[in-house]
Structure 1
């Protein structure tokens, strides 16, 4: 066990790297000694390690942890690290195969069979004891701990092969076998090595040994320089622009994204699809909420649009900031103007005087790991209140409230305009949304997210906006446009189909294929995209969402039995995965297996009591069974629980109307007219209310 991580672990990285990464580090260090030495001290170099006395940081000498319904004893025998785990009256001894991560916590990977490595939910806090560390602690909520739950440490969402490995190891091949559910995962390097970023590092080294020159991959070096800005003049980048490949290289791991192909490395918006700014992953003002990491935040920033890249602030090999404190920001923002009490209105050197305190507020994940926001926004208490997002001021002023923050900003910075374009446009009228989508100065990620959020409204009132983005120069926008195009009339997409299916970006091709296939509008010749799409589905089949996508595709092909098998497998993986319940109930209802559908949805409601979607679908199934009181009860409960979903209200109203409860139906339709006037007009509710 090691305490005092910060100085000692850097030395440990030096000592271990020759053992863990011998082949690649030996190649690189011959010419790049400085860079290799820096990397050896980084968390990248020790992101995953074989469990040994040198790599295990937790207390495996009579280590114990006890919590409600759970007891763990940590020990070692003959150099093998083991955990005796007792839960739900079952006791079993597990062997630790790998140490995973290093600071501020370390997890332990356990081989549970079928090639699966699972991340134990009891972790070691590697911080110093003075900071509250040097202890065992539990990562999950006790309610998620029961064996069989998808959030249990043996569940699908704690699986290393699927959830973690792609970013903690280099050259990973997941090797999932959908038919058997087994993994044959392998990697080139156990942790994040040189070739994780320099994709041709080994070929580059081999060429150098022969006296030849071969690039180690894309040029990732930052270019040009910055002229610091003042209150009246923005920072200016001079010289050649830095390559966008750098942000994509860092971002493919420092982001929440979906891998689209088995090709190692690859590019964002091509081999990877970045998750959009949807709730509950993000707050409505774009602030990070769940564990989505950095890229989605940074792509919203003015810094990104101005040309800032990761290594303007971070050493690429240590991953640490290149300067300390406000010196980092003063590279681009003149210190005499911004690093002063006149600007930040706090005592020099005290809390609130550091740029990051206000412009990069922290949010803690995994209980002990604070991470900073990267959209570099100005504190905006009024917008934060509207978005129900954290107020940066209250992170320090914990005895105050939001109104205090609003008053302070108005008093101390009277010229500050409290607006949030991203928050405002999501709540705007349609013309303002269209103007935002057509404004190339706005962040591409904002525009792409807005396209997907507002698909139904755009397809009804402004379909040309969707169509024009099918030809955007940005693959991020083309991908979202093709997803949104699923709401359009199929005939509108005929002139665009060949372009979408032949796009240079894999993410666009897959989205185009999925949309066209879903509306039965694929042209006769789709090239290789069908094979690409089917390979993508197999790649995702180790998760409930992937199984559900496979099932939907099977349904499109008329393979209903195959679809049912995948959906039942999805529910085995996660008994609270709503889309699988909905799609499987559609199959059962389509085959007039109404009683099975009602039982299935009841099982889902046991896992998710009061879930509006499941109640709504069960109400529809009960209508088909002629169980009218029960059906109306379910539909009413669904509409009461999801007033933001006009479909639920409309179908409840129709059910009331057609079962003779016309006065009650008119009340529901009136509510819809008031809350969703555009929807009510399209649905023709006025005519129904007159009858």
Structure 2
């Protein structure tokens, strides 16, 4: 009897669920579990990474801790969650109406910064998004559209089937969307999350041929390389980088037949290839794929504006390969993602797996000048002469000048992965904050241009009156577009910038920015404000209604004036703050009236 019960239960568990995408046997793929026995160390480091948890089946262990007891409201609807055994459900009702039937939470994407839940739709394996995301660092739920840089008029962006038709392209290993009809999908994957075979290719042949110990021993004694599997660490820079770029890039399909093939059968790209097969990496100003890029410009006019700066540099996070590929370093054929990062804990002196995962899977010392000096060895002896800053200064850190934080995503400013040199011209022509003014927040563009001319003989561009007299950061946070404002709001909380530029004058700008129309900008203003003395515990709900936001800003400003402000503080005229700690009204009103209100949707 016990045996019969066990077999019955096993059969019930073995039957794949019908209300969500499933892990299936896709030709050649064997899953990470098949790699574990022979590669326990690599399996362990992968298992500790956030690649593994990019998509997970919803369980008590994968969901945020309070998922079972949520009561949330947004955009005219109320949501209540409940738990039944190890399953979680959401009920929805219009405000004042009745709750509908429960919908099961079946998948969760993300685990490091932001977690988003996906619900059954009741139509095969098609999913719909739960409209709230969990911000891990803050331990708080917020509307998903307020966890991205999205125009405030957009309340719900991801439609039914969005995970099946888009998200799974980069959040699983060898996903097959398998569109059926209407908005119905029959999606399956080789493995949820980014697993071994995403980077090393299918493992079936590798396992079959290496059952023979003599073959393994021969490889060990000779080439050390096994052609049945790909190791990105052994590839040249472009091919190695593309193993990451298959997900970490802005890409598009070559044509409709390739899109259909990708949808039905998954990616034809395999690590080690020189291109993405059915797809191509979109570089706006490169001479390739002209017809396809022209089609994108006509069919989606804001596509490039929402992803790239005007000169083609990427401005959204998660697309780092675009930057790597466009870097001068890349042209030498050796530079790639794994010049600084590693997919396993291979390097001597590496930290523990948890720290390694949380710091971008960097190799040891790759968060320092060592990352650049491994190639530019001659710069070691002349660092100060090159940077014109003291050796200990943040201005002598290679990253800060050549990889400044000009990309944005996941509510953070992040480093550009396109290695470049700072210039005032990039800020004037394309609106991108330059590295000098991201650190020297209290200085003008003219100041940056003059120093770059004196030190590196860069031409001084034509400058406006404001460029000569008003700090660049003040211009960006008052009249810039939402992307620029987000970068500066985050940057005002950067310790290096605060030490260089002073802190006293930052308060009124950050407090005012708590009322910005874009939720992501408000969030960064709040977090930066909390880094300033006297405001570490300042309470603020960045998703609150406009009236509440204004009340919070008034409360913050009064607190600063009466409790925190140094009455002896002296404010540089470039900051447009008068001696009483108030905005110079003429400058503030004029800059604010010139704000770039073009809708910005940074498509992460």
Deviations 1:648-687 (A, max 9, x none): xxxxxxxxxxxxxxxxxxxxxxxxxxxxxxxxxxxxxxxx
Q: CA separation in 1, counterparts of 2:186 and 2:308?
A: 34
CA displacement at 1:159 relative to structure 2: 0.8
Secondary structure of the 1:244 match is helix
Indicate conservation of the 8 Å contact 1:285/1:384, yes or no.
no
Aligned length: 373
Indicate conservation of the 8 Å contact 2:450/2:460, yes or no.
no
Indicate conservation of the 8 Å contact 1:117/1:160, yes or no.
yes
Tell me the C-alpha RMSD between the 2 structures.
3.5
Is 1:139 matched with 2:144? yes
Change (3 A) 1:73 1:369: farther
What is the TM-score with the length of structure 2 in the denominator? 0.55
Q: Give the counterpart of 1:247 among 241, 244, 247.
A: 241
**Matching residue of 1:155:** 159
CA displacement at 1:329 relative to structure 2: 1.7
Q: Give the counterpart of 1:102 among 89, 104, 111.
A: 111
Secondary structure of the 1:164 match is helix
**Matching residue of 1:391:** 434
What is the TM-score with the length of structure 1 in the denominator? 0.48
Indicate conservation of the 8 Å contact 2:323/2:418, yes or no.
yes
Q: Give the counterpart of 1:415 among 444, 457, 465.
A: 457
Q: CA separation in 1, counterparts of 2:151 and 2:119?
A: 19
CA displacement at 1:75 relative to structure 2: 4.3
Indicate conservation of the 8 Å contact 1:380/1:391, yes or no.
yes
Secondary structure of the 2:315 match is coil
Secondary structure of the 2:173 match is coil
**What aligned pairs does 1:30-429 form with structure 2 within 5 A after superposition?**
30-60=37-67, 62-66=69-73, 69=76, 71-86=78-93, 92=100, 93-114=102-123, 115-127=125-137, 133-140=138-145, 152-153=156-157, 155=159, 159-177=162-180, 179-211=181-213, 212=215, 215-222=227-234, 242=236, 244-259=238-253, 260=258, 261-262=261-262, 263-266=266-269, 267=273, 268-277=275-284, 279-280=304-305, 281-290=307-316, 293-307=319-333, 308-317=335-344, 320-324=361-365, 325-334=368-377, 337=380, 340-363=383-406, 365-411=408-454, 413-416=455-458
Change (3 A) 1:418 1:367: farther
Deviations 1:291-331 (A, max 9, x none): 57122222211111012122121103366121322222221
Q: CA separation in 1, counterparts of 2:198 and 2:133?
A: 26
Q: CA separation in 1, counterparts of 2:230 and 2:238?
A: 10
Change (3 A) 1:377 1:70: farther
Secondary structure of the 2:376 match is coil
Secondary structure of the 2:313 match is coil
Change (3 A) 1:77 1:417: farther
Which structure carries more helix by proportion? Answer: 1
Change (3 A) 1:394 1:200: same
* Structure 1 stretches lacking a partner, 5+ long: 1-18, 128-132, 224-241, 420-691
Indicate conservation of the 8 Å contact 2:426/2:434, yes or no.
no
Q: Which has the larger radius of gyration?
A: 1
Secondary structure of the 2:369 match is helix
Q: CA separation in 1, counterparts of 2:388 and 2:330?
A: 27
Deviations 1:240-272 (A, max 9, x none): xx2632122211111111353335341535221
Q: CA separation in 2, counterparts of 1:122 and 1:395?
A: 32
Q: CA separation in 2, counterparts of 1:51 and 1:361?
A: 37
